[in-house]
Amino acid sequence: MALVVQKYGGSSLENAERIKRVAERIVETRKAGNDVVVAVSAMGDTTDDLLDLASQVSPVPPDRELDMLLTSGERISMSLLAMAIHSLGAEARSYTGSQAGVITTSVHGKARIIDVTPSRIQESLDAGAITIVAGFQGVSQDTKDITTLGRGGTDTTAVALAAALGADVCEIYTDVDGVYSADPRIVPNAKKLDNITYEEMLEMAACGAKVLMLRCVEYGRRNNVAIHVRSSFNNKPGTIVSGSMEDLPVEQAMITGVAHDRSEAKITVTGVPDHPGVAARIFRVIAEAELNIDMVVQNISQVATGRTDLTFTLPKTDAATAVAALERVREEIGFEQVLFDEHVGKVSLIGAGMRSHPGVTAVFCEALAEAGVNIEIISTSEIRISVVCRDTQLDDAVRALHEAFDLGSSEEAVVYAGTGR
Amino acid sequence: MALVVQKYGGSSLENAERIKRVAERIVETRKAGNDVVVAVSAMGDTTDDLLDLASQVSPVPPDRELDMLLTSGERISMSLLAMAIHSLGAEARSYTGSQAGVITTSVHGKARIIDVTPSRIQESLDAGAITIVAGFQGVSQDTKDITTLGRGGTDTTAVALAAALGADVCEIYTDVDGVYSADPRIVPNAKKLDNITYEEMLEMAACGAKVLMLRCVEYGRRNNVAIHVRSSFNNKPGTIVSGSMEDLPVEQAMITGVAHDRSEAKITVTGVPDHPGVAARIFRVIAEAELNIDMVVQNISQVATGRTDLTFTLPKTDAATAVAALERVREEIGFEQVLFDEHVGKVSLIGAGMRSHPGVTAVFCEALAEAGVNIEIISTSEIRISVVCRDTQLDDAVRALHEAFDLGSSEEAVVYAGTGR
């Protein structure tokens, strides 16, 4: 008998009909001889509706109470799901994050899981019950207050439960069939990947692939939990995230996929005095505003003026704060101006194989050049190349790279033959 | 500094506007120098909406999961109320029943409070916070599962918290100004009572007065918690429920009020063999169907036949079950038929003073006779007289008794002068 952890998101649980369909799938898994633990998100628009209520009573709701409010969403979906399972003749019990032993830090709204002590979940499984757990939530180790994990929290709950219970697999049910070599809305012949390593998936997620959140993949890698990303609308196998690229066979595919991201903006600080420590002061200002930056590039200093330009990207939602923070220190630091540009896109090529294959960067740049895409910033890691370009050219860039690296048509491009992960 | 426990029901918290109004009242109480604990129900129609969702996924939802579902209602209202208080500049923290230490039996849907261990509530008060607690819910002592207390549960939560914390008063906010000498919708000159003893309030509640639930009053009496029933829509003093009728001065008012009840049905079992033990067997059948009966009357046996009729009342909602249970044993017990009548009403006169005033029953029956009301069943206790009549005559009966005992016009009729309770 295997232990399977499944995760269903808000769209899979949008209404009573969908909840019943999910219940059927869970009961099938149980009838196939598995122990089943299920982590759920709130139904469809529940979280937005609750946030709307909060805004009606308070302009800036306190974090503690916002977490208390939002966690009622999973309480509703989990108990309804347990009822739906029960009406199919199977035993089901639902547990809040706190009851399930999901212990977190006390940072409301974006708590991190410290530990999972699943004794009640284990008891429920031992009693033969399908066990439903509220995703996205936990209880603070220090204050015993209810916390939420922030975006993608239910994926993380599922992986954390799988790790704590020693589950055989953690199935993340979503509205797509798995992880693709590119967004199928942009690249019609994008290929579903059967397998992907944690490292590659981390790069994909960090570069804009929305199917799994970064922290969930990190948790899976740290605890070696096999994550199966699949559709809640069909029974096709999806994508299995597992294994390290260290273990990949040499003859594996070079490139995994193309990710893109429209959520970033570009800020350029011009006429920066080119002395040691000036760039550091600029980034200190950004850090003190609690903003995270992504890519950074510094132009070659102009000898005549002794000044340079500093460009970086960060989430569009943080850009206004960053610009304001920089303007406040313009005179003190002595730079010329802050330019803000939100019409940028980022495209990234990811593949563990590129480590051992020279020439990937050349093919990458040639493909973009042929598509008429101008590279504004470029940044690389061992298994990734990312560039920033005009947002109007982003789709062209994604298609050009997908084509250049033959990701759609070639089976070898995406399957790690024989690894069996 | 006094400790005040307040309770607000669903209609007082129906929407954001009302929640903000309640928040203002709470902050005023705090600013007047009191420690404040607040028990809340779910907002307006939330419970009905959740029950509707449950019925969509399951014909007979399991009790455990139904409790898990319904308790999300108070979680929403309590966190929104805490936010609204916070936005008025006061500190507020909300706690679930479980967090507040409300320990119950494990009967889902109608759990009873066993104990309240309010250490976290006390800590919150010690930290100077207005403390909001989810009403209607607790945690089972045995299973650690979430339970609900059933109808009127939030009133009971408030009184239980007041008892456990040693509060100076428990204020129950409602949509009426207090407890009246009769339903003002039937008797326009009904008088609001300033004070009423626990015993009288228990009789009023048991006889159909809906302002307070029986179990909440029982809890208050057992723990000697003064309950102040008042309106959430104005600042007028309401009705204080406290003290025992043993302590009432001799010169107190004779009669407190008239209660009525339309929720009962009358069942008559005819041609019952008049032997010892037959009535007991009939009531055993009802008890085994888990139905509670209210009033009982047995006719004088007819000597010619050796048979009698047995009549009793019970909630209309239980009547069909009772009739079916009785029909199943008709031949075995040997009675003739089961007659069912739902067109009955019950009117009751309540007053601690009637103990020491002879003639109350005579005045009572004369008043009904003059109003043309036929008495079908009569039952009395030390401080109450109840009769069953046609439901079409119920309003007339209430008015006739209120008038006959001079409850509307005479101050002395409703004020316990000088008792200061």
B414 located within any domain: yes
DSSP letter string, B63-103:
HHHHHHHHTHHHHHHHHHHHHHHHTTT--EEEE-TTTTTEE
B254 located within any domain: yes
Same domain membership, residue B402 and residue B300: yes
Last residue of a domain, one of A128, A157, A175: A175
Domain with residue B373: its CATH number is 3.30.2130.10
The answer to whether residues B201 and B192 touch, using CB atoms and an 8 Å cutoff, is: no
Task: Give CA torsion, residues A331, A333, A334, A335, to 10 deg.
Answer: -110
B129 touches chain A (CB under 8 A): no
Question: Could you tell me which chain B residue has the CA closest to the CA of A96?
Answer: B68
Q: Is the pLDDT of residue B99 over 50?
A: yes
Same domain membership, residue A272 and residue A156: no
What residues of B are in contact with residue A86 (Cβ under 8 Å)?
Answer: 58, 61-62, 65
B93 touches chain A (CB under 8 A): yes
Domain with residue A124: its CATH number is 3.40.1160.10
Q: Is the pLDDT of residue B204 over 60?
A: yes
Interface ipTM: 0.83
Q: What CA–CA distance (Å, rounded) separates B147 from B97? A: 9
Last residue of a domain, one of A121, A141, A175: A175
Q: What CA–CA distance (Å, rounded) separates A334 from B362? A: 101
Q: Give strand pairing partners of A340.
A: A267
This prediction has a pTM of: 0.86
Domain tally, chain B: 2
Lowest mean pLDDT among A9-18, A249-258, A310-319, B322-331: A249-258
Residues 6+ apart with CB under 8 A from A160: A102, A113, A116, A219, A223
Check A65 against B19: CB less than 8 A apart: no
A118 located within any domain: yes
The answer to whether residues B177 and B230 touch, using CB atoms and an 8 Å cutoff, is: yes
Same domain membership, residue A252 and residue A112: no
Best probe of the A interface among B83, B86, B131, B142, by most A CBs < 10 A, is: B83
Same domain membership, residue B398 and residue B291: yes
- Determine whether B19 is exposed, middle or buried from the number of CB atoms within 10 Å of its CB (0-12, 13-18, 19+): buried
Last residue of a domain, one of A175, A209, A227: A175
Same domain membership, residue B295 and residue B373: yes
Residues 6+ apart with CB under 8 A from B203: B259, B348, B350, B381, B383, B384
Phi, psi of B126 (to 5 degrees): -60, -30
The candidate with the shortest Cα–Cα distance to A217, out of A156, A137, A135, is A156
Same domain membership, residue B395 and residue B292: yes
Same domain membership, residue B128 and residue B250: no
A21 touches chain B (CB under 8 A): no
Residues 6+ apart with CB under 8 A from B31: none
Same domain membership, residue B275 and residue B133: no
B228 located within any domain: no
Per-residue pLDDT tens digits for B284-323: 999 888 888 889 888 777 778 889 899 999 999 999 999 9
Q: What CA–CA distance (Å, rounded) separates B244 from A263? A: 69
Per-residue pLDDT tens digits for A89-141: 999 999 999 999 999 999 999 899 999 999 999 999 999 999 999 999 999 99
Question: Could you tell me which chain B residue has the CA closest to the CA of A131?
Answer: B65
Same domain membership, residue B152 and residue B36: yes
A264 located within any domain: yes
Which range of residues forms the domain containing residue B36?
3-175
Check B69 against A79: CB less than 8 A apart: yes
SS3 B21: helix
In the DSSP assignment, the letter for residue A277 is T
Q: Is the dihedral of CA B186, B189, B194, B199 positive or negative?
A: negative
Percent of chain A past pLDDT 70, that is, above it, reads: 96
A98 located within any domain: yes
Other C-beta atoms within 10 Å of A368: how many? 22
A58 touches chain B (CB under 8 A): yes
pLDDT score of A417:
30
B20 touches chain A (CB under 8 A): yes
Same domain membership, residue A383 and residue A275: yes
The answer to whether residues B161 and B5 touch, using CB atoms and an 8 Å cutoff, is: yes
DSSP letter string, B185-242:
TT-TT--B-SEE-HHHHHHHHHTT--SS-HHHHHHHHHHT--EEEEESSS----EEE-
A299 located within any domain: yes
Per-residue pLDDT tens digits for B31-44: 999 999 999 999 99
Find the distance separating the first CA and the last CA of chain A, reported in whole Å: 19
The candidate with the shortest Cα–Cα distance to B181, out of B414, B415, B370, is B414
Same domain membership, residue A163 and residue A20: yes
A183 located within any domain: no
Question: Could you tell me which chain A residue has the CA closest to the CA of B78?
Answer: A69
How many secondary structure helices (H) and strands (E) does chain A include? Answer: 13, 20
Helices (H), ranges, A166-288: 198-206, 214-223, 278-288
